Amino acid sequence: MKTPRLYADALGHATGEVVLTERNHHYLTRVLRAKTAQVIELFDGSGRSCQAIIKNISKRETIAEILNVTEHEDRRLPVTLGLALIKPDRFDWALQKVTEIGVNAIQPLITQFTDSPPNAVRIRKKWGHWQEILVNACEQSENNWLPELRGPSYLHELVLPQQVVIAHPAGESACIDTTKESLLLIGPEGGFSDDEVNSLVKNEVKPMSLGPTILRAETAAIVGLTLLGYQYGHY
């Protein structure tokens, strides 16, 4: 049986023993039916992982003893994905996959063609759900570094870094400076508007083709990160 692998953000401050979160307690006791003395793996999303052994299980909590700690190099892509908000199920799928790939940060975008831009109340309701997707993806993919999830921003209000790439059918194979971090912009269904593209190009944003066909936004995110990953030497 594969060793259960669980996210434990308190691991970075723990010594000796750690009280697992209600989420992990529920999973171990209700789903896995775990027992004392069972070995599990914990990681904190900031490059630290350890093997641990379950010392005590009560009705309300699970306590684990930390056996050994490993510090992992940050191997995330030096890329922030600026992904336009699209249909919820497709956006969720994209979050999962780009976390598995190892994106450094995720910047949700609101663009001219974003359908029904969410208000602050909707964002707050979504935030925990999005974070849980990132955690689940790291648990599954054995990625020890959680991507940074940034608050949604309107594209025209976004502060652009030095190196920005925009996925665009009219673009070419963009060459990047691999000594710098990149921001990859992916538009919504229907793409970026002409005004948005023109404004970005004026700011020396590099248009990049993702191939001869028109891709869905969630597919474009995967392809774009993969192409940049090759240039950074991550594959």
Question: Has residue 83 got a pLDDT over 70?
Answer: yes
Confidence of residue 12 (pLDDT cuts 50, 70, 90): low
The answer to whether residues 121 and 159 belong to one domain is: yes
Domain's final residue, options 71, 91, 107: 71
Same domain for 95 and 195, yes or no, is yes
User: What's the domain count of the chain?
Assistant: 2
pLDDT digits (tens, 9 = 90+) for 182-222: 999 999 988 999 999 999 989 989 999 998 898 999 999 99
Q: The domain containing residue 35 runs over which residues?
A: 5-71
- For the stretch 116-157, pLDDT in tens is 777 778 888 899 999 999 999 999 999 999 999 999 999 999
pLDDT for 133: 98
Say yes or no: 44 and 87 in one domain. Answer: no
Among candidate residues 30, 45, 71, the one where a domain is terminated: 71
Residue 147, domain CATH: 3.40.1280.10
Report field, pTM of the whole predicted structure over 0.95: no
217 and 109 fall within a common domain: yes
Domain final residue, candidates 71, 102, 129: 71
Q: What confidence tens digit (pLDDT) does each residue in 164-190 have? A: 999 988 777 778 999 999 999 999 988
Q: How much of the chain, in percent, has pLDDT values that exceed 90?
A: 77
32 and 129 in a common domain: no
Cα–Cα distance measured from residue 39 to residue 68, given in angstroms and rounded to the nearest whole number:
12
